[in-house]
Amino acid sequence: EAGVTQSPTHLIKTRGQQATLRCSPISGHTSVYWYQQALGLGLQFLLWYDEGEERNRGNFPPRFSGRQFPNYSSELNVNALELEDSALYLCASSLGQHNEKLFFGSGTQLSVL
């Protein structure tokens, strides 16, 4: 069974540009979570999607947005990139039930120059 897949693995952008990160959850998982992990830091919650709807978002500006498609894959969009957006962006999926565990993808390393 395939795990959570994220693309691209690495992404290099310049300030002011827009970035799109993609995530495919494990088959059968309806929930997708996005986290930002800056170098040496913890996981900061960005967004949670379940059954195609945005269920919750973390304390990030509106230029961080996303969506979930009917096949439960998800996109994270970051507009007007800033230098401090450079980080590892992790996607995780779960069955969407209470007390479920998260399965993480390998992440997209975003570098903003």
Q: Name the site residues for other proteins (rule: CB under 8 A).
A: 33, 35, 42-43, 45, 48, 55-56, 58, 90, 92, 98-107
C-alpha atoms less than 13 angstroms from C-alpha of 56 in its C-beta half-sphere: 9
In single-letter form, the type of residue at position 102 comes to L
- The helix/strand/coil state of 85 is helix
Length of the chain: 113
* CB nearer other proteins, residue 17 or residue 57: 57
Angstrom distance (rounded) from CA 82 to CA 64: 11
- Tell the smallest beta-carbon distance from residue 46 to other proteins (Å): 10
* CB nearer other proteins, residue 33 or residue 72: 33
Contact 71, 27 (CB under 8 A): no
- Tell the smallest beta-carbon distance from residue 99 to other proteins (Å): 6
CA 108 to chain centre: 8
- Tell the smallest beta-carbon distance from residue 53 to other proteins (Å): 13
* CB nearer other proteins, residue 20 or residue 109: 109
* CB nearer other proteins, residue 14 or residue 56: 56
